[in-house]
Structure 1
Amino acid sequence: MRSLKIILLSSAFNGLTQRAWLELRQAGHLPSVVLFTDEASVCQQIEHSGADLVICPFLKDRVPHTLWSNAKRPVVIIHPGIVGDRGASALDWAITQQLPSWGVTALQAVEEMDAGPVWAACEFNLPAGLRKSELYNGRVSDAAIRCIREVLEKFVEGFVPVVLDYTDANVRGRLQPNMKQLDRSFSWHDCARFIKRCIDAADGQPGVLASLAGGQYYVYDAHLDSRSGLPGEILAVHDDAVLVAAGDQSLWIGALRRKPQPGEETFKRPARHVLAGQLVDVPVLDWSVATQPFCDEAYQPLRYRECGNVGELTFEFYNGAMSSEQCQRMVAALRWAKSRDTQVLLIKGGRGSFSNGVHLNVIQAAQEPGAEAWANIQAIDDVCEELLTARQLVVSGVTGNAGAGGVMLALTADIVLARADIVFNPHYKSMGLYGSEYWTYSLSRAVGPAVAEQLTQACLPLSAMQAWQLGMVQEVGPRCPDEFSLWVLQRANAALSDPAYAPVRERKARVDHELIRECRENELREMQEDMLHNRNRFAEKCRNFVYKRKVCGTPARLVEDWARVRSVELAG
């Protein structure tokens, strides 16, 4: 296939857009990104770029008439719904209605949203119990990439997309209204599984508005529990979550956002933080890996098990963010796990992101955000230190996308195993930070100082395969989360005897602990300037991230020369 100049028009450079960008580059194409700001600017950038094709992996805005009406350069929308489905709440309805299967459709942009002729479609089974974000970053993302590949092949062949025909029995999708809070609403008297499904369908955005502790909150991060009580009553607190009684059983709610007053903005925070003053008389259930390592509680953000010579610690923090308190709990769990008579310590992410480093929302909510950021970075450094100083051979199983300190956390392990097609963002600069988590030691150890510097300065994503090629990752495992969990445990058990890991085992025997200590001190010296003295505008960037401020333009690093040169020539 010939190399194509492709514009990725997107509302944000999110996980799917990053994956599409990586996929297109891997296939030899030249993708350039345009982030949707205002109609005039977007039209100018694309019309003057000389692009062959425009693909929209994640677009909340309507495609301007000037763009979609250009017959020579199609604009293809990647819609997270089956053929014929239309509307902005496709995944919300699919989860709410408990559909057995769903899909993704690539369709040409026309005047009417999601009503254009079809380029490609891909369907998949829809298991019960998935959150919207989990579905989007997993099966939807996989199907979207398959659709994009098919679109490119058909475009080169001169394919004419198929007009949407609702009289065709195979077209099962229909126009669906945008889901409103009334459609999402539940009563705490409803059964727990129904409530969880409502919350799962609104995961990420917008959340479900519910009454709790005398106030109105958007609720997120729900987990089933078998305890019961008066519906709507807060029964207990554990770590950052509160346990709320439902009609039959109960649910742990991990995150809340207070309903804002007119003109006010609020953001998600750990539920215990939001309700702090109202939890004084609520019982605290205080199990942990260190005190009850093999307990059978349903809700365990940190859980441990042993299999043969391997001790496996799984951590699952909502959206991959790790607050100071979560890091402290993980340090305690690691210290206990390191005391066990095991030879391999496997750390593994949960079903969402692996880790994205420090918890920006908790930092922003603090009375002194800079001081909280400084405490948070030292706490996550403590987690990394426990891994770097473990007697056991340490293996990290990177189950989901990882960014910034989350990437470096994974790299502190002796062996890094990644799930296929996840995305790494091994950089901090775009957030105004130098970076810590021992990156100057572990990233340099993996790829060499020159490449480490290049990766942290470029601020670009890497695919799992690219990370493997660079030496950041030792093996890439199955894409299916369940298959990956089995595979990573098998590989951890084999790590002590596999000849391929002999150099890793030898390297562990001669770790330079003095160098590790120096790296931490040097990094923290730089981070102090960024977090406490705001050297590179971290405070503003943190605030913009938390409040989801719309970008004012496309970062230069995402614009290819072919797209940039034409614009410059025109302007001259």
Structure 2
Amino acid sequence: MQDAPQDISYRREGAVGHLTFSFYNGAAGVDQCRRLESALRYAAQQDTRVLVLRSGPGVFCNGIHLGEIEDSPDPATAAWSNIQAINGVCRALIEINDQITIAAFAGPAAAGGVMLGLGADVIVGRSGVMLNPYYDIGLHGSELHTLTLPHRVGHQGAATLLSAKLPISTDRAAAVGLVDLVGPADPGEFSEWLDDVADRHTDPAAWRGVIYSRIPVDRPLDYYESLELAEMARDVYDDSHGFAAARRSFVGKNRFRPATDGLVVSGDRTDFDDFCKRRSVPEAATAHAKQQHRQVLALGAERAEALDDLHLAAMHQAGAAGGHPHLADGLRDLGAALDCGKDLGVESIDLVAQIVDVDLGGVQ
């Protein structure tokens, strides 16, 4: 690994190997995926007992590189190559047999980036980090998630997470089984905590316990991948779920204007109405969400601290008053999402509307 590029590095400390990758904006293009797969296979050949796969202080991974795909003269072929390349990374992680693998969400992850991490034996995350298992970009998704996600949360839990299309904090992810352990929110403290977790898993008893609880693979990985790729082929080549338009919108938004609302903004125009129509959101609810969406954006970055205080107060009020059972969790997730600039879809905007009605009246 002496010639490894700076965005992928491997180091060994005793019986623990640490593989760290840091891709710009979390986008894993074909080249990044192939190099990460090679790094994983190299790490798997070392005589360590534990392998930690983690991101740097920024984003863990957001899946395939939509920008590279959009810029390609043949986006469909580029997308297909990227999907196969990221699947190669997922396979390399799942196929590691002689070491315990730990995937560490030191930063936020979305879509295929979340699914990539699920191939590890142990999954940990930094407290407050947001995970979005499904970003609605017009793709069924692959990354062997039809194997790994149900193993974590069951088939019903997997269906719920994928249909909700909402971010979830690592703290809540631990409650539903998506994450095993949650470490400190401070990045430095998290790294120290992660080192300790890895060291503890070198203990023979802990090592055997994890090995025996591994994902049961009763069919070849090709079985799961082929079914996923059959759906993806229709999405990529037949554009069966609007991948081309969604991809163009996503890339355009992220290149020309940072956003926290998941909408494409171009001058005075947004695609909010089209966004809602595609999801059959009632007209009245759309109008209400648009109003509250404008109010939230009006807070601006300079009000982030006040918004954080508001979330804490609202969570306390919700708990003390015995309100909606998920209000506190929803507020916490939404607050973290806004704080890190997470893209929010129309479902989250509806949640914003509910929160504004209840708790944001005093913030003008």
The answer, yes or no, to whether TM exceeds 0.5 is yes
Instruction: From 98, 105, 108, give the equivalent of 1:398.
Output: 105
2:169 corresponds to? 463
Question: 2:271 is aligned with what amino acid?
Answer: C
- After TM superposition, the structure 1 = structure 2 runs for residues 337-376 of structure 1, keeping only pairs within 5 Å, are 337-376=43-82
> Are positions 1:492 and 2:194 aligned together?
no
CA contact (8 A) 2:200 2:206 kept: no
Question: 1:402 is aligned with what amino acid?
Answer: A
CA distance in 2, matches of 1:462, 1:398: 13
- After TM superposition, the structure 1 = structure 2 runs for residues 64-213 of structure 1, keeping only pairs within 5 Å, are none
CA distance in 1, matches of 2:197, 2:104: 10
Question: 1:532 is aligned with what amino acid?
Answer: Y
CA distance in 1, matches of 2:346, 2:37: 39
Question: 1:469 is aligned with what amino acid?
Answer: A
Q: Deviation at 1:497?
A: 2.7
- After TM superposition, the structure 1 = structure 2 runs for residues 144-543 of structure 1, keeping only pairs within 5 Å, are 289=1, 292=3, 300-391=6-97, 392-428=99-135, 430-497=136-203, 503-508=209-214, 511-512=216-217, 514-543=219-248
**Distance change (3 Å), C-alpha of 1:410 and 1:540:** same
2:271 corresponds to? 552
Identity among equivalent pairs (%):
37
Q: Structure 1: 5+ residue runs without aligned partners?
A: 1-288, 294-298, 567-572
CA distance in 2, matches of 1:562, 1:498: 51
2:334 corresponds to? none
TM-score normalised per structure 2: 0.70
Could you list the structure 1 runs, at least 4 aligned residues long, displaced by more than 3 angstroms after superposition: 498-503, 560-564
Secondary structure, aligned partner of 1:539: helix
CA distance in 1, matches of 2:140, 2:19: 29
CA contact (8 A) 2:11 2:19 kept: yes
Question: 2:34 is aligned with what amino acid?
Answer: Q
- Structure holding more strand per residue: 1
CA distance in 2, matches of 1:343, 1:561: 45
Question: 2:245 is aligned with what amino acid?
Answer: E
CA distance in 2, matches of 1:466, 1:305: 31
* Number of equivalences: 269
Q: Deviation at 1:534?
A: 0.7
Secondary structure, aligned partner of 1:340: coil
**Distance change (3 Å), C-alpha of 1:452 and 1:341:** same
Question: 1:518 is aligned with what amino acid?
Answer: Y
CA contact (8 A) 2:100 2:207 kept: no
1:230 corresponds to? none
Q: Root-mean-square deviation (CA), in Å?
A: 2.2
CA contact (8 A) 2:59 2:107 kept: yes
**Distance change (3 Å), C-alpha of 1:313 and 1:443:** same
1:257 corresponds to? none
Question: 1:552 is aligned with what amino acid?
Answer: D
Deviations 1:441-499 (CA, angstroms, capped at 9, x unpaired): 11110000111011111101101111000111110011111221121122112114386
CA distance in 1, matches of 2:14, 2:178: 27
Question: 2:112 is aligned with what amino acid?
Answer: G
**Distance change (3 Å), C-alpha of 1:341 and 1:458:** same
Deviations 1:513-545 (CA, angstroms, capped at 9, x unpaired): 625331111111111111121110001000001
Secondary structure, aligned partner of 1:305: strand
- Structure holding more helix per residue: 2
CA contact (8 A) 2:50 2:102 kept: yes
CA distance in 1, matches of 2:352, 2:16: 49
Secondary structure, aligned partner of 2:139: coil
CA distance in 2, matches of 1:356, 1:561: 23
Secondary structure, aligned partner of 2:158: helix
Q: Structure 2: 5+ residue runs without aligned partners?
A: 254-263, 273-288, 290-344, 358-364
CA distance in 2, matches of 1:379, 1:503: 31
Q: Deviation at 1:504?
A: 2.8
Secondary structure, aligned partner of 1:431: coil
**Distance change (3 Å), C-alpha of 1:495 and 1:324:** same
Deviations 1:70-100 (CA, angstroms, capped at 9, x unpaired): xxxxxxxxxxxxxxxxxxxxxxxxxxxxxxx
Question: 2:124 is aligned with what amino acid?
Answer: L
CA distance in 2, matches of 1:405, 1:438: 10
**Distance change (3 Å), C-alpha of 1:443 and 1:501:** farther
